[in-house]
Structure 1
Amino acid sequence: MVFSRPVRLWLLPNAALLAVLPLWGILRYPHLPSRIPQHLGSDGVDAWTERSIGSAFALVFVYIGVTVLLTACAELALRVTPQAELPREAASFGHGLASSSLNRPRTRASALGTARALLVLNACTGISLLIGCGVLWRSTADREVPGWLFAAMLLPLLAGTAGTVAAAIRDRRAPAN
């Protein structure tokens, strides 16, 4: 990985969530009922499944996969040569490297901003899934789920997505030099 020191700091919340989620699940697993929630609908839990490692840790596995994907995307954003650093003849539209289907960051700074935004989006995803695990890992097989919990799960995802979109807009507005 080529992550610089400042970018590595943005990995810390993700690493903490990757440690907390499985540990919390391992501690909760023996106390789970034999049937656990499989799906949450607008009226609470609307599907159940038998407790197993796969069903109980599904959200943890999803977060691991999302973390791998978004960390790789952040890494790629930092490895791609920005438009500002391309040779002049290649940087013009329709010629050489710049005509590829790759959407290059305009500058090194915007690549760094994109990488940070992706890592923040990943942490926001982890927070949403942490809340979901709280529902999944309850000790009782209760159908009722408070309505505010849906908003609590959605808000971090919306915030992370807004940050990623804002980073993309800033990149498009940055001069390529």
Structure 2
Amino acid sequence: MAVWGAVRYPGLPDRLPAHIGPDGIDAWTAKGVGAAFVPVFIYAGLTVVLTGCAALATRITPQDELPEPRNRWSGAAAAMTNRPASGVSARRTARSLLIMNALSGAGFLPLCWLQWRTPETAAVPAWVMPGTLTLFLLGLVPVGVACARDMAEKRTARA
């Protein structure tokens, strides 16, 4: 995405889209690196956060590796802690976060295209927003599946 933007940047018009409203682009800003690379910067930040969350998910001690509670207070505290059921579940959660990040990146591509197109027009094709939202929502599916499988694994372990 950053390479694509760097290649397109010299040929961009003097004004770039700053806001997309229901009727198309309704605010413009002067051409600049900050304005041109907003989608890249947002996605870079999202990548840092989701990669960090994925790394932390694999470092959490899973429930099946915790020692048995010694008294009722430690049992209540353990029950309130949201831990993965097992190491496999933790890796599944981490993998789902990375897949969500990749699909979010794909969701930013139509916005980059809109930001970096050379004709200065307020018209926005009808497919841009539904396409972007679909990719972002598809990114939630693997996370939901990982959570559902983790809850099922916890129920099985309790039984």
- SS of 1:95's partner is helix
Structure 2 residue identity aligned to 1:49: T
Equivalent residue number for residue 26 of structure 2: 46
Equivalent residue number for residue 130 of structure 2: 151
Equivalent residue number for residue 87 of structure 1: 67
Query: Could you tell me whether the CA contact under 8 Å between 1:83 and 1:98 is conserved in 2?
Result: no
**2:115 corresponds to 1:136:** yes
**2:34 corresponds to 1:22:** no
Q: TM-score, normalised by structure 1?
A: 0.81
- The 5-angstrom pairing of residues 1-177 of structure 1 reads 21-89=1-69, 94-95=73-74, 98-99=77-78, 102-175=81-154, 176=157
Write the distance in 2 (CA, Å) between the matches of 1:93 and 1:107: 23
Equivalent residue number for residue 5 of structure 1: none
- SS of 1:39's partner is strand
Write the distance in 2 (CA, Å) between the matches of 1:163 and 1:144: 34
Structure 2 residue identity aligned to 1:123: A
Cα RMSD over matched residues? Answer: 2.0
Query: Could you tell me whether the CA contact under 8 Å between 1:93 and 1:99 is conserved in 2?
Result: no
Structure 2 residue identity aligned to 1:170: R
Cα shift readout 1:15-73 (whole Å, capped 9, x = no counterpart): xxxxxx11001100011101011111222111111110000011101111000000000
Identity %: 44
Task: Specify the structure having the higher radius of gyration (Cα).
Answer: 2
